[in-house]
Structure 1
Amino acid sequence: MSLEKPTKIWWNGAVSDWRDAVVHVTTETAMRGVNVFEGVMAYKIADRSEHAVIALDEHLRRLARSAALLHLPLPHSLDELRQGVLDLIRAEPSELDLYIRPTLYLESGAYTADPERMRMGAYITSYTRERAPLRSVRLVSTPWTRVDDPAFPAQAKSGAVYSAFRLARMAAFRAGGDEPLLLNARGTVAETAGAAVMAVFPDGVVSPPPEDGALDSITRAVLTDLLRDDFGLKVTQRSLRPQELHEAQEVFLCGTLDEVVEVSAFDGVPLGHGADGLARRLFDRYRAVCTAADATASPLRTRVAW
């Protein structure tokens, strides 16, 4: 993903110049990380001036749920935010895929749930992303656990939580890994620093449930349908002990940015996978659905022509 500054941003109701979107350093979002956000992928359709935005409405509904969990009023309706995403893509079109990040933030009103005493803001950013092949990562344990209920709402996708993810990721790098495995306070698997965990066993695929601290992943839901309909596999959500990852036939991660990522090793122990492994086949199928020229390939796609 390129983090070079784009020229445009959707800022509190309209597409604006990037440099005009500023907040004061003493706002609640700057001082305490009081915000919620979503990550949405828009795939460029080959030979067309068009992008396919994946699960846009589902992501915006989850954004609203995150805001509700943190007692943040919506500064714009979901229809306005949806239109903002489309307007931003059209304002700065690209031949590359796009990673889009709608964010709601609190400017003032730190310790009140009264919407009349809270000042909210919203912005949507869009970054280009090079389309890459299937990745393989080394997963490692770290001392950090997933911030979980009741310490913080696990289903609120907030910038504040990603501060903890940053520490876990740094610990993983120091341990010679690529991604940290985050457990919950009960010692079972929650997720990684930004992706859901899925493990393949002879009787099906297992993934931790939301009550174990895993964000209710939209990408996982899409992959669950593909695994059932296209691969004939059952997907079960249940608590997953970290030791079970070594017993699995295969382990992979999934998320908006990650799509499907193969786990080659956990805590230095190689895991099973191969050229014809499920992760690779699922990655190819998911990418095909997201990038298909046929507008009926997936009901989760919103087409945006520019």
Structure 2
Amino acid sequence: MSLEKPTKIWWNGGVSDWQDAVVHVTAETAMRGVNVFEGVMAYKLEGRREHAVIALDEHLERLARSAALLHLPMPYSPAGLRQGVLDLIRAEPSDLDLYIRPTVFLESGAYTADPSRMRMGAYITSYTRERAPLRSVRLVTTPWTRVDDPAFPAQSKSGAVYSAFRLARMAAVRAGGDEPLLLNAHGTVAETAGAAVMAVFSDRVVTPPPEDGALDSITRRILSGLIEREFGIKVVQRSLHPEELHEADEVFLCGTLDEVAEVASFDGVELGRAEESLTRRLFEKYRAVCTAAGPDHTAAQTRVAW
């Protein structure tokens, strides 16, 4: 991300100056990571003073589900947060794409599910992001496994879980990789530290189901539809054993920030990367859906003029 410190932030109900958004160091979100968040991309439309926010309503609905799983009352409705995203984009427009992060956090009320005894807060940040070509990554296994049910609700996108992802990422780098493959307690594939895994075989694409510890990825949902409609290939959710990644024709990762990223190698063994691979064609198709600037909105876009 190229903008390390924006000047504006949506903070507890309205756009504020960045430095005005503060919590005490003893707030539950600081002490125990009690928060839920979403990552949303907004693509700058060519030749227009406008961004297209991708799957905004779906992300905010998932944010509310994450909060419910952690017994956190939502301080603002999805509609209120949706308006907050639009207001923030208009308050600090950019000619670059934006990575937007709505977050709901617990300020006080450590061990209670009583909303009357909990003080909640919310903020939305927006960071600029340079548009990049298709990324190739080296995927490696690490000693760290995916924190999932019953240790922690796997379908809650929480800052607390990303503390574990941080350790996995550091282990991957030490092992000479770019991204860690996280297995679940049964030894099958869950996800990476922030992206879904999809393996391409001759007649199907296989990806782990949510019950295997994979976050129910919104980007994966969009891509699955594209794969079946545009390329006529069936997408199947089933348990995926790590050794199957070596047997696949190709493997790719997907997520809000990753978009589509091809896996060049897994545990040091190179994987298939044909010039006309599904991964490359899918990346181009997905990017076209996100950046479509014509008068007709694609279903995934929420247009924001500034």
- Taking structure 1 as the reference length, the TM-score comes to 0.99
Unaligned runs of 5+ in 1: none
Output aligned runs, 1:156-195, within 5 Å. 156-195=156-195
- Name the counterpart of 1:221: 221
Q: For residues 10 and 225 of structure 2, what CA distance do their matches in structure 1 show?
A: 33
Q: For residues 69 and 234 of structure 1, what CA distance do their matches in structure 2 show?
A: 31
Indicate the RMSD between aligned Cα atoms, in angstroms: 0.7
- Name the counterpart of 2:89: 89
AA in 2 matched with 1:255: G
Q: CA deviation at 1:4?
A: 1.1
CA contact (8 A) 1:295 1:303 kept: no
Any runs of at least 4 consecutive aligned residues in structure 1 with deviations exceeding 6 A, and if so which? none
Q: CA deviation at 1:295?
A: 4.4
Q: CA deviation at 1:22?
A: 0.3
AA in 1 matched with 2:22: V
Q: For residues 32 and 3 of structure 1, what CA distance do their matches in structure 2 show?
A: 27
- Name the counterpart of 2:20: 20
SS in 1 for 2:231: coil
- Name the counterpart of 1:122: 122
SS in 2 for 1:230: helix
Q: CA deviation at 1:296?
A: 3.0
Task: State how many pairs are aligned.
Answer: 306
What is the CA deviation profile of residues 37-68 of structure 1, one whole-angstrom value per residue up to 9, with x for unaligned ones?
Answer: 00000000000000000000000000000000
AA in 2 matched with 1:211: E
Q: For residues 2 and 208 of structure 2, what CA distance do their matches in structure 1 show?
A: 31
Q: CA deviation at 1:3?
A: 4.7
Q: For residues 255 and 241 of structure 1, what CA distance do their matches in structure 2 show?
A: 21
- Name the counterpart of 1:32: 32
Q: CA deviation at 1:203?
A: 1.8
Output aligned runs, 1:155-304, within 5 Å. 155-304=155-304
- Name the counterpart of 1:45: 45
- Name the counterpart of 1:62: 62
What is the CA deviation profile of residues 59-99 of structure 1, one whole-angstrom value per residue up to 9, with x for unaligned ones?
Answer: 00000000000000000111110000000000000000000
SS in 2 for 1:57: helix
- Aligned CA distance change for structure 1 residues 102 and 295 (closer, same or farther; 3 Å): farther
SS in 2 for 1:165: helix
AA in 2 matched with 1:159: G
What is the CA deviation profile of residues 109-147 of structure 1, one whole-angstrom value per residue up to 9, with x for unaligned ones?
Answer: 000000000000000000000000000000000000000
